[in-house]
Structure 1
């Protein structure tokens, strides 16, 4: 079992202090894919954080990529991001 999802989660928690932080390892769904051969995993994250208030999707994604920059292309081959501000959550 990989510790990468835990490392990703810890970094996201430390950087964004999110209300919600989900990290799903979807690497097994991509077995045989060229990116999987290099050892990089496929992950899906969902973050709800006040840091995202007033920021567009591009900036939100860039903030997440910056947080995980040293893991990209080595530990992370693909990253699906849902980054939401708390005010965007339907009550």
Structure 2
């Protein structure tokens, strides 16, 4: 199983999201090899986040993905939304952050 698949399956099971996107952005980073799985953008929309502050959402995701974070994932760009927040932003994916070394 790839790291991306692990992230997707773990978040599907742990958050039961209304919408999930996991994008391998390793290619955007100069230090990464072409087949690297070290940098990911995660966009997750879940009712689990209702009433939670942003830091609590990120802690929840990081706890679910602790194994991946210890085994090769260098960076996770987390974008966590409630369904209401997702609709309010027009269901638009956030822009990717460019690596300072790129």
The bucket for the TM-score relative to the shorter chain is: 0.7 to 0.9
Does 2:88 match 1:87?
no
Q: How many equivalent pairs are there?
A: 86
Name 1:74's counterpart in structure 2.
Answer: 71
TM-score when normalising by structure 1? 0.85
RMSD: 1.9
Match of 1:3? 2
Displaced runs of 4 or more, over 3 A: none
Q: Which has the higher helix share?
A: 1
Q: Which has the higher strand share?
A: 1
Segments of structure 2 that go 5 or more residues without pairing to the other structure are: 91-102
Aligned-partner Cα distance in 1 for 2:72–2:11? 15
